Structure 1
Amino acid sequence: MKNSLFLAASLSMSCLMAAGLSQTLGPATGAEDPFLWLEEIEGSRALAWAHTQNDKTFSALQSDPRYQRFYGDALYILQAKDRIPYVSLGRRGLDNFWQDENQVRGVLRRTTLESYRTQSPQWETILDVDALADADKKNWVLKGVSCLPPEERLCLLNLSEGGKDAVFVREFDAVAKTFVTNGFALPEGKQEVTWVDSDTVLIARDWGEGTMTQAGYPFVVKELKRAQSLVEAHEVFRGEPTDVGATPFVLRDSEGTVHATGAVRSISAFEHEYVLFGFKPTKLNLPKKATIGGIASGRLLVTLNEDWTPPSGDTSFSAGSIISYDLAEWKQDPLRARPTLVFKPGPRQALSGFTATRNLLILTILDNVQSRAFVYKYHQGAWQATPIPLPENASVGLAAASHETDEAMFTVSSFLSPTMLWYFDAATERLETLKATPPRFDASRLVVEQFEAISRDGTRIPYFLLRPKSARFDGSTPTLLYGYGGFQTPLIPSYLGLTGRLWLEQGNAYVVANLRGGGEFGPQWHQTAQGATKQRTWDDFIAVAEDLIRRKITSPRRLGVVGGSQGGLLVGTAITQRPELFNAAILQVPLFDMVRFTKLGAGASWIGEYGDPTIPEQRKWLEAYSPYQRLVPGTTYPSPFILTSTKDDRVHPAHGRKAAARLAALGQPYLYYENIDGGHSAAANLIEQARRISLEYTYASQRLVDE
């Protein structure tokens, strides 16, 4: 290992000592926490500390000759002209958002399907974000575009300054390619805006004192007419301050016809209530863990994340299913309409994604973490499923779908096979490959295997191992173990171009763990490791690490862990509960202080996943695993690398800052990098992304590869 890592840590500790902070630490809670000053995001003292940390990290990592090579390779892959330009299928053509060395902030552009089929499509520029940023003197990051169906001419652009979740909203004419004079324009905020018609939008945003939840999201929805000021907006829904938030809801069919408007009240991260507007507001009698998913074949679609028996009581549906209502019957009386089954998952299956085209429903499912795609059509009172013959033993993702036709696009990839983009027209059953990513690394000397580890309670936890075919099973292979395990989010095989070039080609191994808390096997796989049982996620991750060591694939000296956001918390629990198992840890925009997480950023919105530290019983289980509180004297930690962003208004940068500061005060080595821009992705553009990735793999090489 490099002395520069320990030098950086000792210098950081000296900096903290010079600031008058003692190395002797008590519990890192409440008023006794000596690093609360790092929670002031733009505080001059905190920013000065972060800049000093960055300088030390750059010195330790960018001086390594591997860094420049990694950076060059990463930037080449990220900016490659031959990467797939993913598109949406709209009425006016195929839209794409593109970034490269010339378009750093990006350009919104359009082409035709015929042109897209060629190797060099002809693109029409719709919006140049770099030019806009120069004109406005803002570091704009385009966060989303919402165009009014069916014409899709009037669009609402979400523009973030530096990558924050908080955005400015401006109305844009996609035909004239200009912002609409005196059009809808909303100041910065965490907000949701939805078109009703060309002169009406529904808005959830900060309307002033008492309109934002503890989580920092709006719970009041108002209707705004064209030419009205925000103060003239008419309130149409008000949730509760204790909610996560509320968002507007507009139900449209494939032709753009509005069938209902309303609001979605998010009681927690996973529980919702739908309220329809009208002469008398109607709260739908759906279960709280259900989501309305749109309209297909003249039927309203609903996904269920819990078992449910409708009020009629004649049929029960299991968690993970999709149900549907006859749209006309539902509109006449939404509380008495009778649902029917669309899709029910098998024991090792989970719904992966779905979308409606003009006449059909297209579904992707996971079957033991392998993907399959189907077309569903409602015919003579029942849904009929037809498989789409895409390649097997690969991950299939919905990339785009048209509401005007029955066309769709799919991504098909695996760990070692470059991603392909497939086009499918259900009307003609035409299936073709449109685009393919060229290989970014030499996969000929690599192999992928799937194993299972046994967790503490006996549950079998699957994981994928990517390794050199020539690997010696003597514990000598440098290995990075990646996981997430939260919020019902699955980790599925996908092409790892950057990991392949910067890590696997060097003779190293990479592991992806499918932990409870994720969504690989449906809602139950998530809910069995949630709240009071969240420790199961951490146990699963540790079990995979132990299994890798038991099989002699690697050893504690050569094993590192990596994860971001919830995955950063996962890494934090791993190195505080079993530090002897690892010699490296990369924590990207991590949660870390789970005693104060509800007071930081959007933390209160995740109470449904973790629990509420203000409730004594729940605080007890949070304190039991909170990594910040478990950093204690007398323990050696695996010199972690902590990365975050000043502009991250989702997971507060104080989580990473305080972790680094506490490690320094304990005399423990670490590295810390805080990107000023970037938001929760910790990178506002491809250049910043290449820098972050190169720092990570240089660190991993120093810790796990070097003697």
Structure 2
Amino acid sequence: MPPQSQARLSVWIRIGLVAAFAAAAPSFAAGPSPSGAQEATVNTPTDPYLWLEDVGGDRALAWVRERNAAAEAELASTPQFKQLKGDIREILDSDAKIPAVEKIGPHYYNFWKDKQHERGLWRRTTLDEYRKPNPKWETVIDLDALNKAEGENWVWHGANCLKPTDRSQAPERCLIALSRGGADADVTREFDLTTKQWIKDGFFRPEAKGGTDWIDRDNVYVYTDFGAGSMTESGYPRVVKQWRRGTPLAQAKTVYEGKPDDMYIAAGHDDTPGFERDFVSRTLAFYNDELYLRTADGTLKKVDAPNSANKSVHKEWLVLELREPYTAGGKTYPAGSLIAAKFDDFMAGKREFTTLFEPDEHSSLSSFTWTKSHLVLNVLEDVKNRLRVLTPKSEGEWARSEFTGAPTFGTIGVDDVDADESDAVWLTVTDYLTPSTLSIATIGEQPEVLKTMPTFFDASKHEIAQHFATSKDGTKVPYFIVKPKGLKLDGTTPTLLYGYGGFEISLTPGYSGSVGKGWLEKGGVYAVANIRGGGEYGPRWHQAALKQNRHKAYEDFAAVARDLIDRKITSPEHLGIQGGSNGGLLTGNMLTQYPELFGAVVVQVPLLDMQRYHKMLAGASWMAEYGNPDTDDWKFIQTFSPYHLFDAKKDYPPTLFMTSTRDDRVHPGHARKMMAKMHEAKKDVRYYENIEGGHGGSANNAQAAHMSALAFTFLWNALNDPS
């Protein structure tokens, strides 16, 4: 969903990029690594597999098709596979799933995919209708019909609708983002909500990474590929312009131009009544950005807060979520704190803040959400959500209260319904065994349950537990397990361990019909590790595993694996692991550094060649996380580069690599080259590359079901018959 306040531009761009990087989920010391892996040899231009980086090359695609055919023949030919694929497809296509909605004017909009609508419908209804078990929906855009009419393979990337000055009126115009095949690059097209037609000669942004945002009916901000030199080294926009209706894009007026080594430049308009403002965001790297207020004469005035802080502006308030200690007004605020000041006072040079949240050893701020009159904090306490309500007072103080009717179990998600107009929020509650519930709650009143997801698997025989493993340096690392009740602790249970450990992304309990059907119902144990690099304990948890300390994330994951083994829940030959994107780098390092701990490994849309990652697609944008291999950083990066740590003389567990040709974020060459190297060394390895799908791996439910079934089938076969 687009943000309610475009003033949070720098925040939502960063969060969007980080979240997208993690979207593949169902998620260093220099010298030899602590696990004893050999020091890597620098990758040279003589790498025999460089040709596999030619994404659409005939030779490379022929290789892909050959590998796909072999994987299909091994995994997809049995009746059991076909049954599982059908079951997962049925879950993904279910009409009984909760249709998540976004309030746009008087209507509530939802994007929906099912068996009859593989690419999806953008549709709308009223709140009264939505309360019914079977709401009546009005189709606004039928993406399958659009694809058929245009001979395209569009994938939905979202809608940004212009709010009318009179908020009692319905919006008329939207900017619709569409992607070919699920890639990050997309187009923006203008759409008329009243006629449900595309606007002829309306705003149109050609295919590229970037975006467009409304200023008013006749003006937009556009940040995109304007030609040579207009994109950053990370492949994102470095120029933002103001574009007036009826004029060529080439004549749009430059608002701000960043540097080539910046990450992302953008701009947005805050249309909050009485607080209309324009902002420019300059993202230098992950968790390193600058925010500028654009004044009426077009000049930019920097919001002089720390680059590392998440900066957001809501009405009269500037709110900073600190990632490092910050001293202001004679007081030092610790990292992980949320502090607030009057925006106009701050811009005038005053540095008087109120602490809204301060972390401790067991807690961190997961998120915060504004309503018309309140601020709702979503806090993680040992990876369990708790909600708190803060209310600003006229004298500058904030009243604090508990959230009325807040659930006492499971993962809680909270988001505003309409921060300009109401104090209502959406509440979603779930855990590994409990289907998601959606409620609407007005602050101070009991929540009203609107929707409950159906049960997709028999959870009555399982239970959830949380344990803490001890990592190599003594750090306690939490992890969740879902196991059969009365599990016999003899080390023979097939167990799947999932992890991510990067970009301050937290893994909290959530219901997955696919995991339930593909793993739990068969009697398997499912575990999720909350390792360092993630955000479960705030910035400190993330920063503990950056760059030269990356090995700590891998030590944490290995510690969880050993704890599962020591508890006799499973044993190495029955323990499998899975991870995607940064989690693919994690499982790649588990494969090469800790092969003795695992019986099967699934590596999805991964980074693996860390000597070249920054030269492929969006890789340069992640150097704040991993380091720059063109500098002395390579001394520690090589200790977590699976492509270089692979040793043809060593034994490795059975492995499955999965990626997508259309992934324009993490280059498929990582998985291709690693597969080729292992295959040539005659290791037990297989490979599947979906032709569509982008970084998420699939473009529709059929593809998602197929890839999930491949992974579960491979893991179950390997861990039940570890011969």
Give the TM-score of the pair, scaled to structure 2.
Answer: 0.91
**Number of residue pairs aligned between Structure 1 and Structure 2:** 673
Counterpart amino acid of 1:682?
G
* 1:412-449 deviation line (CA, Å, top 9, x unaligned): 011111111111012x6241111111211111111111
1:506 is matched with which residue: 514, 522, 538? 522
The answer for the alignment partner of 1:30 in structure 2 is 44
The Cα shift of 1:258 comes to 5.5
1:176 pairs with 172, 195, 215, which one?
Answer: 195
Q: Select 1:138's aligned residue among 143, 152, 176.
A: 152
- 1:567 is aligned to 2:583: yes
The equivalent residue for 1:67 is 81
Matching of residue 391 in structure 1 with residue 407 in structure 2: yes
Give the whole-Å Cα distance in 1 for the aligned partners of 2:352 and 2:141: 46
Please give the residue correspondences for 1:394-473 in structure 2 after superposition, counting only pairs within 5 Å. 394-403=410-419, 404-426=421-443, 429-473=445-489
From 228, 232, 235, give the equivalent of 2:251: 232
Any conservation in 1 of the 2:215–2:268 contact (CA below 8 Å)?
no
Matched, 1:622 2:637: yes
Q: Which residue of 1 aligns with 2:283?
A: 266
SS for the counterpart of 1:316 is strand
Q: Within 5 Å, which residues of 2 pair with 1:467-616? A: 467-616=483-632
Q: Residue 95 in 1 paired to residue 109 in 2?
A: yes
Where does residue 91 of structure 2 map in the other structure?
77
Q: What secondary structure is seen at the aligned counterpart in 2 of 1:74? A: helix
Aligned residue number for residue 39 of structure 1? 53
Deviations 1:336-389 (A, max 9, x none): 453322222232112222222222222211111111223321013212232222
Q: Which residue of 2 aligns with 1:20?
A: none
Q: Helix, strand or coil for the counterpart of 1:99?
A: strand
Structure 1 residue 114, shift from structure 2 partner:
0.9
2: CA distance, partners of 1:485 / 1:152: 41
Structure 2 counterparts to residues 96-175 of structure 1, below 5 A:
96-150=110-164, 152-175=171-194
What letter matches 2:363 in structure 1? Answer: Q
Task: Report deviation, 1:152.
Answer: 3.2
In 2, distance between residues paired with 1:584 and 1:400? 42
- In structure 2, C-alpha distance between the alignment counterparts of 1:361 and 1:137, rounded to whole Å: 46
SS of corresponding position for 1:247: strand
Alpha-carbon offset, residue 27 of structure 1? 5.0
Deviation at 1:243, TM superposition (A): 1.2
Q: Which residue of 2 aligns with 1:244?
A: 263
Q: CA deviation at 1:685?
A: 0.7
1:401 maps to amino acid = V
Tell me the alpha carbon deviations over residues 67-112 of structure 1, each in whole angstroms, 9 at most, x when there is no partner. Answer: 1111111011111111111111232211111000111100011111
Q: Displacement, 1:411?
A: 0.7
For 2:222, which of 203, 224, 247 is the aligned residue? 203
State the secondary structure of the residue aligned to 1:598: helix
The CA distance in 1 between the partners of 2:663 and 2:623, in whole Å, is 19
Aligned residue identity for 2:380: L
Asked whether the equivalents of residues 85 and 96 of structure 1 are also in contact (C-alpha less than 8 Å), the reply is: yes
Q: Distance in 2 between matches of 1:136 and 1:69?
A: 34
Per the alignment, residue 671 of structure 1 pairs with 686
Maintained 8 Å contact 1:252/1:295: no
Out of 337, 345, 348, the position equivalent to 2:359 is 345
Verify: 1:306 aligned to 2:321, yes or no.
no
- Kept in 1, the 8 Å contact 2:214–2:268? The answer is no
Q: Tell me if 1:690 matches 2:705.
A: yes
Q: Deviations over 1:582-605 (max 9, x none)?
A: 111111101111111001110000
- The match for 1:50 is 64
User: What SS does the corresponding residue of 1:602 show, helix, strand or coil?
Assistant: helix
In 1, distance between residues paired with 2:666 and 2:711?
20
SS in 2 for 1:194: strand
In structure 1, give the amino acid aligned to 2:717. Q
| C-alpha contact 2:42 2:611 (8 A) present in aligned 1 | no
Partner Cα distance (1:46, 1:126) in 2:
40
Question: What is the deviation of 1:321?
Answer: 2.1
SS at match of 1:106: strand
Superposed displacement of residue 259, structure 1: 3.1
CA deviation profile, 1:163-201 (whole Å, cap 9, x unmatched): 000001001112221112211001000012221111111
Following the alignment from structure 2 to structure 1, what is the Cα–Cα distance between the partners of residues 60 and 350? 57
3-state SS of 2:205 partner: strand
AA aligned opposite 2:193: A
Once residues 335 and 567 of structure 1 are traced to their aligned partners in structure 2, the CA distance between those partners, rounded to angstroms, is 43
The one of 374, 380, 390 equivalent to 1:376 is: 390
Letter in 2 for 1:697: F
1:11: which partner in 2? none
If the length of structure 1 is used for normalisation, what is the TM-score? 0.93
SS of corresponding position for 2:285 = coil
Measured in 1, the distance between the counterparts of 2:357 and 2:200 equals 47
Query: Cα deviations across residues 441-486 of structure 1 (Å, max 9, x unaligned)?
Result: 1111111111111111111111111111132211100001100000
Task: Report the Cα offset of residue 315 of structure 1.
Answer: 2.6
Structure-1 separation of matches of 2:623 and 2:705: 33
SS at match of 1:586: strand
- Asked if 2 retains the 8 angstrom alpha-carbon contact of 1:87 and 1:400, the reply is no
Partner of 2:371: 357
- Offset at residue 299 of structure 1 (A): 2.0
Displacement of 1:324: 2.1
- Letter of the 1:685 partner, please give it: N
| Partner Cα separation in structure 2 for residue 334 and residue 588 of structure 1 | 49
Deviation at 1:502, TM superposition (A): 1.3
Matched residue of 1:249: which SS?
strand
Match of 1:16 in 2: none
Structure 1 residue 321 corresponds to structure 2 residue 337: yes
Deviation at 1:206, TM superposition (A): 1.3
**Deviation of the 1:400 alpha carbon:** 4.9
Q: Does 1:657 align with 2:672?
A: yes
Provide Cα deviations, 1:113-161, integer angstroms capped at 9, x if missing partner.
1111110111111111111111111100011111112453311111000
The alignment partner of 1:362 has SS state of strand
Moved more, 356-365 or 591-600: 356-365
The share of aligned pairs that are identical, in percent, is 40
Deviation at 1:284, TM superposition (A): 2.0
Worse-superposed segment, 265-274 or 644-653 = 265-274
Q: 1:241 to 1:475 in 2, by over 3 A?
A: same
Letter in 1 for 2:716: S
Poorly superposed stretches of 4+, deviation over 6 Å:
none
**Is the CA contact (8 Å cut-off) linking 1:154 and 1:173 kept in structure 2?**
yes
Partner amino acid, structure 2, of 1:416: L
State the SS of the aligned residue for 1:466: strand
In structure 1, distance between residues paired with 2:701 and 2:576: 25
Amino acid aligned to 2:694:
G
In the alignment, residue 168 of structure 1 is paired with which amino acid?
V
SS at 2:119 equivalent: coil
CA distance in 2, matches of 1:635, 1:190: 41
